[in-house]
Structure 1
Amino acid sequence: MAAATTLSQSPKREAFGSRNVFILSAIGSAVGLGNIWRFPYVAYEGGGGAFLIPYLCALLTAGIPLLFFDYAIGHRFRGSAPLAFRRIHRAAEPLGWWQVLICVVIAVYYAVIIAWAAMYTWFSAQLSWGPGNEEAFFGIDFLQSEDVGEVGLSSTFVPQVGIPLAVVWVVVVVIMALGVKRGIGVANMILMPLLTVMFAALVVQSLFLPGAMEGLNAFFTPNWTALADPAVWASAYGHIFFSLSVAFGIMVTYSSYLKRKTDLTGSGLVVAFANSGFEILAGIGVFAALGFMAQAQGVEVAGVASSGIGLAFVAFPTIVSQATGGSIIGVLFFGALVFAGITSLISILEVIVAALQDKLGWGRVRTTLTVSIPLAIISMALFSTTTALTVLDTTDAFVNAFGIMAVALVAVIVVAWLLHKLPQLQEHLNRRSSFRVGILWRLLVAAVAPIVLGYLFITGLIEKIAEPYSGYPVWFLGVFGWGMAIALVVFAILLSLVPWSSRSHAKDDDEYDEFLADEHYDPDPETAALRLPVAEQRGDIA
């Protein structure tokens, strides 16, 4: 019994200081690089102003319902993704580890983009690339990129990438080691207001550039014929899934840190609409700047519009070179990328740290270092070398299509159709929430989401099977593309077979039982069955 007493006195699960801190943290996770460099181009290509129709439909019929789905699982089952899914049903635990491993892959390459943005913040202040040399500077002078055929054979270390990448990892590790309340919560309380102010200043600066109105006309003028294209609707749904951080395990983990009496759906609506508001703000700022760039070069906006890395590290430096006060625009833009990236990266890492804490029963600092040091080493090895760009491009494409989409599809089918847990999750959402959900929410999660996710997954699969992605060698795609996607599933199953620490499980189960009693829930039969071996280990059962 002495051992049991010691276990019961273990520190309780960490929690956010308040609902507002959770909301800022959730917005910080959702508002990332994709909001700034992906959404404006996706909207422009999808019909400009007309794209707002499929975008809002996707937000209301899939994004917000799945956000509530994640919140309900995390808050109701009080654990990291693997523990929460295990408490739903023992066989569902691999779903949680699948999400954890997706976060492992994303964290490894996400950090290097933050490092690039940090360096370009400094470069912007000095216009280091030189007018007209922006593309060559990024690919040759800065990244020193080599052909994909050289991957793993003669890649060399690039100091101007490796050093800031190491700094990014140190900063993030410190935040993570401080914990949920003193680390993640405080970081988001500081960085999110700064990000908002910086990006608002960038938008104002961009609006006063010559040609800004032409850019905004290109962005907002509706192309109604685009609405007849199924690819536009698929693009809207695909973007919403990534933008709101659903199916990553992030919102499951973050909601497990919420206090018992929290308005879940009200918080979710604030997060979802704040994220969308930031995306529209980003579209205004980016296309105002692209309008200036088009006018300066004497071309249409379509001739300079781009997305992703090309927009951030080629198009924007060109704007910085040509605009009056361009250095200020560059510092604001790349500084915003750094802050948005850090808030998203810490949420990604928290999924991994929380999962191992729950599984192994380790302390915060030990778990953080055990997770972060290997990831930092892998990140440095792959992405501070001359072959970083091709590895990043391939890994990102496959983890999105065959990681996030796949696990979201499987999770919804398992929870909604095989385990029939949606009524229980609906009841939990409605216990404390200001916005109540009903049969429509269950229909959207159980029917609309699987149809859309299945369509996106199958079309992505057909596209990548039809021809090698970006023309890369088959062996390369086999390692960093298909091989990585398959390995995620295999290792998720293997991790679910690793025994849970009796110390961790006892502590979490005690708190979980306390939560159930406080909420007047009957213990789940599945959860009770999972507790038995732990109780035996503690000596509570003869």
Structure 2
Amino acid sequence: MAENEKWGTRIGFVLAAIGSAIGLGNIWRFPYQVYNSGGGAFLIPYFAALIIAGIPVLILELGLGGETGKTTPLAIREKLRESEFIGWWAVLNGWLVNMYYAVIVGWSVVFVGFSLTLAWQGTELSNFFMNNFLNSWLPVVGVILVWILQYFIMKAGIKEGLEKANKIFVPAIWVIVILLVLRGITLDGAIQGLNYYLTPDFGALTNAEIWINAFGQIYFTLSVALGIMITYASYLPEKSDITNNAFIIALANCGFAFLVGFAIFPIMVAGGIEPTSGIGLAFMALPKAFEFLPFSNVFASLFFVLLTMAGLSSSISLAEAQIGPIREKLTLKRSKTVSYVIAISLIGSLIIALEGPLGLFGDNPLSLLTILDTSSATYTLPIIAFGEALIFGWVYGIDKIRTYVNSVSDYTMGTWFNYFLKIVVPIALGYSILSKTVTRPGLLPPFLIMIGAALASIVKEQK
């Protein structure tokens, strides 16, 4: 086996894991979820999902990587040989996510330049973004720059590449968000914006969709079930504290998302812009809102620098989730593995970025990206998380994981951890997945595969 590198310091690992979790979803997805899901009332299921589902799965993944010292597929293989496929499924899914994710980071790089002169002024912003920008070659330039930067970071290794990069990215991300918050809460109309954000509609809590959205947001933002956290934990020194690290990562991530809302909502209200979801918020709504701020180009540029850094910190973690397992499985040198992974990823990203200027998949320049986002991040990710909870909760035995984690952690977990992993997480994820099969019947086969794999493993264990 190829020998894994190790993190140089505990803070290096924690910052890298936080950098992975703090991504684009926290900046544009979380505020919209709050706005569209009962305002401040959404925070109740969101933090409930964090405690009862997000943190237990995060502890599970960190425990697997920490105990085995192996990357995702091989860590799962060591515990349950026949379940290795779940790890490779996570690796492949994360690879697809990163191909389109890097495209969005590339857009952010270009928009940093646009922001210096507010290049979109005087035009309809949706038209500027969808037609002028996406149908140009600028997204291709952005994508190439992003993958070149990732290549040098990943080739430098764990300590000299990932760790050093995140020691720059993560503190800078927090500083920029705090500056945007200070600007936002001092604007005229800031109170109205904060009311949008924080005023709860408790009646919304009776809507099951709100709870499903909260669980989905937690899994999306914590970077679980993507092969990242198990691989990152495999680079930890032996007997590293798992529980404290998990709580620090999870709370820092969700605290960041909560803080972002104090910038987004006042700025949106000051600009007279209604919150929209996803890409629309970052590239078709907020830039227009920045026009109404004093020093608009400065704060617009800061916002897109924030998107770029947050996106890069997540993208390099997704890349490592492929580089680590492939290098370990095939016993390749790191430099060669990095070259292969980055080259294939760049080709995939270029196909997505070229959709606009070449019209590869029709008139909509976002059609391929939207398909990948929906299939990989929205639907496949919870199925993989469901499989992990089922396999390790019911087949391998969650008590074994808990015993190891408690043996290396200052804070020990009680039997509540078992119940959450064995019952709460599978029920919550299973219900979420099944509720989506009404409109997406294609989700049913992989969901049943996971259940079938778990049942087959149980039968084999009993024999």
Normalising by the smaller structure, the TM-score range is: over 0.9
| 1:140-539 aligned within 5 A | 140-144=131-135, 158-294=136-272, 304-386=274-356, 388-420=365-397, 422-465=398-441
Q: Which amino acid aligns with 1:398?
A: S
Query: What is the CA distance between 1:307 and its match in structure 2?
Result: 1.6
CA contact (8 A) 1:48 1:219 kept: yes
Deviation at residue 208 of structure 1 after TM alignment: 2.1
Within the candidate set 88, 109, 119, 1:97 is matched to 88
User: How big is the shift at 1:233?
Assistant: 1.1
Shift of 1:209: 2.1
Question: Residue 418 of structure 1: CA displacement?
Answer: 2.2
Task: Note the C-alpha offset of 1:250.
Answer: 0.6
Alignment partner of 2:439: what SS? helix
Cα distance in 1 between the residues matched to 2:392 and 2:211: 26
- Structure 1 distance, partners of 2:379, 2:22, is 22
Contact 1:216 1:291 (C-alpha < 8 Å) held by counterparts: no
2:115 match: 124
Q: Is the 8 A contact 2:271 2:291 kept in 1?
A: no
AA partner of residue 434 (structure 1):
D
Native 8 Å contact 1:35 1:278 kept in 2:
yes
Q: Is the 8 A contact 2:271 2:290 kept in 1?
A: no
Judge conservation of contact 2:155–2:335 (CA < 8 Å) in 1.
yes
- Are 1:114 and 1:341, in contact at CA under 8 Å, matched by a contact in 2? yes
1:385, CA displacement in angstroms?
2.8
Larger Rg: 1
Q: In 2, distance between residues paired with 1:418 and 1:441?
A: 16
Question: Is this contact kept in 1: 2:41–2:201, CA < 8 A?
Answer: yes
What amino acid is the match of 1:409?
A: F
Is 115-124 or 376-385 further displaced after alignment? 376-385
SS at match of 1:222: coil
CA contact (8 A) 1:124 1:331 kept: yes
Contact 1:124-1:320 within 8 A present in 2 as well: no
Local SS of the residue matching 1:438: coil
Q: Distance in 2 between matches of 1:243 and 1:402?
A: 14
Whole-angstrom distance in 1 between the partners of 2:84 and 2:440:
29
AA of the residue aligned to 1:417: W
1:27-42 map, 5 Å: 27-42=18-33
Write the letter of the residue equivalent to 1:120.
F
Letter aligned with residue 45 of structure 1: N
For 2:278, give the aligned amino acid.
G
Instruction: Verify: 1:83 aligned to 2:74, yes or no.
Output: yes
Structural mapping, 1:63-78, within 5 Å: 63-78=54-69
Instruction: Provide the alpha-carbon RMSD of the alignment.
Output: 1.8
Is the contact made by 2:30 and 2:217 (CA closer than 8 Å) also made in structure 1?
Answer: yes
Once residues 373 and 458 of structure 1 are traced to their aligned partners in structure 2, the CA distance between those partners, rounded to angstroms, is 37
Q: Structure 2: how far apart are the matches of 1:389 and 1:79?
A: 37
User: In structure 2, what is the Cα distance between the partners aligned to 1:50 and 1:381?
Assistant: 41
What displacement does 1:323 show?
Answer: 2.0
What does residue 8 of structure 2 align with? 17
Amino acid at match of 1:25: A
Q: Is the 2:173–2:309 Cα contact (8 Å) retained in structure 1?
A: yes
Preserved CA contact (<8 Å) 1:165 1:380: yes
Instruction: Give the structure 1 partner of residue 456 of structure 2.
Output: none
Is the contact between residue 389 and residue 426 of structure 2 (CA under 8 Å) also seen in structure 1?
A: yes
Distance 1:334 1:458 in 2: 37
Structure 1 residue identity aligned to 2:418: R
Inter-partner Cα distance in structure 2 for 1:360 and 1:464 = 36
Letter in 1 for 2:162: I
In structure 2, C-alpha distance between the alignment counterparts of 1:190 and 1:178, rounded to whole Å: 15
Q: What's the secondary structure of 1:40's corresponding residue?
A: helix
Contact 2:103 2:352 in 1 (8 A): no
> Which runs of 5 or more structure 2 residues have no equivalent in the other structure?
360-364, 454-460
* Residues in 1 aligned to 2:348 and 2:418: alpha-carbon distance in whole angstroms: 41
Report the Cα offset of residue 280 of structure 1: 0.7
Cα shift at 1:238: 1.0
Give ranges in structure 1 of 5+ residues lacking alignment.
1-6, 145-157, 295-302, 466-481, 494-525, 527-542
Residue correspondences, number? 442
Q: CA deviation at 1:419?
A: 2.5
Whole-Å separation in 2 of the counterparts to 1:20 and 1:200: 21
How far 1:104 moved relative to its partner? 1.0
Shift of 1:226: 0.8
Matched with 1:151 is: none
Shift of 1:132: 4.6
Q: What's the CA shift string for 1:47-104, capped at 9, x where partnerless?
A: 1112221111111100111110111111112111111011012101101100000111
Whether the 8 Å CA contact 2:66–2:239 is kept in 1: the answer is no
Contact kept in structure 2, 1:401 and 1:460, CA below 8 Å: no
Which letter maps to 2:414?
G
Identity %: 35
Letter in 2 for 1:48: G
Determine helix, strand or coil for the equivalent of 2:14. helix
Structure 1 consecutive aligned stretches of length 4 or more whose deviation exceeds 3 Å? none
SS in 1 for 2:204: helix
* 1:259-291 C-alpha deviation (Å, 9 max, x unpaired): 113111001111111011100111111001111
